[in-house]
């Protein structure tokens, strides 16, 4: 195709148009470089606004001002926001196994709601709880002190939600000498105190006192008067037969301390009375958490 040279007539036709209102041609002044720059600036502003609006609508929402997990809530906001970039909220389902003993931990969990139990299971299948975890702490603490595997079977007892974080990312953050590391040192001390008293309690105290202690710890983490808990789970936590558990719950109900619904629910009616019926272990662990965290 041959290119035709633009004549003066062609230029005139390009810079004029017919105006039907006047019945004559209207001269159009070609845009200058200044005009083009202004148009480009306006366009960029519009596109920038559209992009920001898109991000606001579709980006991951910012974390809550105050986390539901009390351990995370103690962190400075800047540190918490950095951690949430690697976190994902996931459901905690009843009977869900988070870790098997001696298995690698792929994630750590910071519960927002629910109850998690760390258990020791014998070769014959008998099990007993050694620690209870709720929104006051985390599951997978072993990763903080350098362990890659879980020393216990860890299972969800009461459903809820948790912030889940890859163990590798958590370990990298925990190695920093900062607020997270200092907080984890305190929680490790509190957690070990709970494990120590659980061992002493399981060996020295009656089933009734141990049951009262466990119901109090569960209510602390559930946050309501009614604890969704089956006799099967509670007997497993206490390391007793279900028939023995029934013999314990009936007197507590007769004294007006609890209501055993028999459908996987136990309501605490008299918390002060239940605390009085519990052993010293519940109070000692509570006092240690208060001493460490204020």
Which residue is associated with the tokens 């230029």?
11
Residue 100: which H helix or E strand, with range?
none
**pLDDT tens profile 162-196:** 999 999 999 999 999 999 999 999 999 999 999 99
Domain 70-293 of CATH type 1.10.580.10? no
**pLDDT tens profile 59-72:** 344 445 579 999 99
Structure-block tokens of residue 239: 């390391």
**Alpha-carbon gap, residue 256 to 17, rounded angstroms:** 95
**Alpha-carbon gap, residue 223 to 232, rounded angstroms:** 22
Predicted confidence (pLDDT) at residue 44 exceeds the cutoff of 60: no
**Alpha-carbon gap, residue 288 to 275, rounded angstroms:** 17
The overall pTM is greater than 0.85: no
With a pLDDT cut of 90, the percent of the chain lying above it is 66
Domain locations in the chain as residue ranges: 8-58, 70-293
Mean pLDDT across 98-124: 96
SS3 46: helix
CA distances from 209 to 43, 232, 281 (A): 73, 18, 9
Torsion angles phi and psi, residue 19, rounded to 5: -100, 105
Vertex 112, ends 114 and 277: CA angle to 5°?
A: 45
Among 53, 61, 58, 103, smallest CA distance to 85 is for 61
Task: Give residue 97's Cα distance to chain centre.
Answer: 16
Residue 228: per-residue pLDDT: 92
Vertex 264, ends 263 and 269: CA angle to 5°?
A: 95
With a pLDDT cut of 70, the percent of the chain lying above it is 78
**Alpha-carbon gap, residue 15 to 19, rounded angstroms:** 13
**Alpha-carbon gap, residue 194 to 189, rounded angstroms:** 9
**Alpha-carbon gap, residue 193 to 176, rounded angstroms:** 25
Confidence of residue 241 (pLDDT cuts 50, 70, 90): confident
Residue 234: per-residue pLDDT: 87
Residue 99: which H helix or E strand, with range?
strand 97-99
């Amino acid at each position: 195709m041959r290119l035709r040279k633009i004549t003066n007539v062609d230029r005139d036709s390009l810079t004029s148009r017919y105006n039907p209102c006047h019945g004559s041609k209207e001269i159009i002044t070609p845009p200058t470089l200044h005009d083009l720059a202004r148009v480009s600036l306006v366009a960029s502003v519009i596109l920038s606004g559209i992009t920001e609006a898109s991000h606001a609508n579709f980006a991951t929402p910012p974390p809550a001002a105050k986390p539901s997990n009390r351990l995370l809530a103690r962190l400075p906001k800047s540190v918490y926001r950095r951690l949430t970039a690697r976190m994902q909220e996931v459901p905690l389902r009843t009977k869900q196994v988070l870790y098997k003993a001696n298995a690698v931990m792929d994630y750590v969990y910071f519960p927002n709601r629910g109850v998690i139990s760390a258990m020791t299971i014998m070769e014959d299948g008998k099990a007993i709880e050694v620690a209870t975890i709720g929104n006051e702490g985390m599951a997978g603490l072993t990763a903080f002190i350098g362990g890659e595997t879980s020393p216990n079977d860890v299972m969800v007892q009461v459903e809820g939600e948790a912030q889940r974080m890859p163990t590798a990312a958590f370990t990298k953050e925990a190695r920093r000498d900062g607020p997270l590391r200092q907080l984890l040192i305190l929680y490790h001390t509190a957690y070990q105190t709970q494990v120590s008293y659980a061992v002493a309690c399981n060996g020295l105290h009656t089933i009734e006192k141990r049951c009262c202690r466990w119901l109090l710890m569960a209510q602390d983490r559930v946050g309501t008067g009614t604890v969704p808990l089956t006799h099967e789970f509670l007997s497993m936590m206490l390391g007793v037969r279900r028939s023995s558990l029934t013999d314990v719950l009936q007197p507590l109900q007769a004294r007006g301390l609890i209501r055993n619904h028999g459908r996987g629910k136990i309501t605490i009616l008299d918390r002060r009375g239940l605390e009085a019926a519990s052993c010293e272990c519940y109070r000692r662990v509570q006092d240690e958490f208060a001493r460490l965290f204020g």
